[in-house]
Amino acid sequence: MIGNVNCIEIESLDHPGLEVYSRLTEAGLRGDGEIFIVESPKVISVALDSGLVPVSLLCERRHIAGQAAGIIARLDGVPVYTGDREVLAALTGYVLTRGVLCAMRRPEARSACEVCRGARRVAVLDSVVDSTNVGAVFRSAVALGVDAVLLAGGACDPLCRRSVRVSMGAVFLVPWARFDGGPDALRAMGFRTVAMALADSSVPLDSPLLRNEERLAIIIGNEGDGLPPATVAAADYVVRIPMAHGVDSLNAAAAAAVAFWELRVR
């Protein structure tokens, strides 16, 4: 025991309570379940600060009195499973990032209208399925003043392990929701819509037309196919990022960061 924390030495990989950690392949714990996983003390701290509820901690023994000590001190009554690096790697299927994992309870889902209430800049990820891109977009959204993120068309779960890690906890700092509408539904919530796409009708990102818009929804498309033609046709603005040397497009996460900066509230 450390304070009110129950430290449990792992002697068997089938110890009760370890099931969630034994499914830590990308396919096995992709997201959308009741429990999700947070890695590293820094990101776990962000999650706790955001009010998320821990279920258990998995920690290399050497970190209990080291980099995990501050986290453990906050886990009143939460079991802390511990063991050597080799034992934990055998359990999870990979060497733990910074030696610390925390299983947390997924927060209640929110509606698009709820998270967009009062927002001036919203990012809409339409079928962005790469977890690294989703995490990077959330990190840029927090850093560059985006007020909410909407996930459309089967976009990757922001609480999957890799998205959480890449975002450095930003997925806990900006409200987000699933969204099954299009530009018309965004307009009904009071937004002018910006479709990021290469099209004959597109205007450059730094166009003065965009700077004075009070509320903008910035729609980012799938990594391979971009936005559906119907979404592009229905948007108020179709916008391209001016580029040099014959480059026609950027990675979805990089394009989102550029757009968030240029279209930020001034």
Round to whole Å and give the CA distance between 146 and 142. Answer: 6
Residue pair 23/79 in contact (Cβ under 8 Å)? The answer is: no
Structure tokens at 19: 């099931």
One-letter amino acid at 158 equals P
* CB neighbours of residue 80 within 10 Å: 22
- 138 and 218, same domain (yes or no): yes
The domain spanning residue 258 has which CATH number? 3.40.1280.10
- The predicted-structure confidence for 91-112, as pLDDT tens digits, reads as follows 666 555 557 889 999 999 999 9
Q: How many domains, the chain? A: 2
Of the chain, the percentage scoring pLDDT greater than 70 comes to 89
Query: Considering the domain boundaries, does residue 2 fall inside one?
Result: no
- pLDDT over 50 (residue 199): yes
The domain in which residue 56 lies consists of 7-105
SS3 134: helix
pLDDT at 87 over 90: no
Opening angle at CA 55, ends 63 and 116, nearest 5: 110
Other CB atoms closer than 10 Å to residue 87's CB: what's the count? 18
* Residue at 226 is within a domain: yes
Q: Is the pLDDT of residue 174 over 50?
A: yes
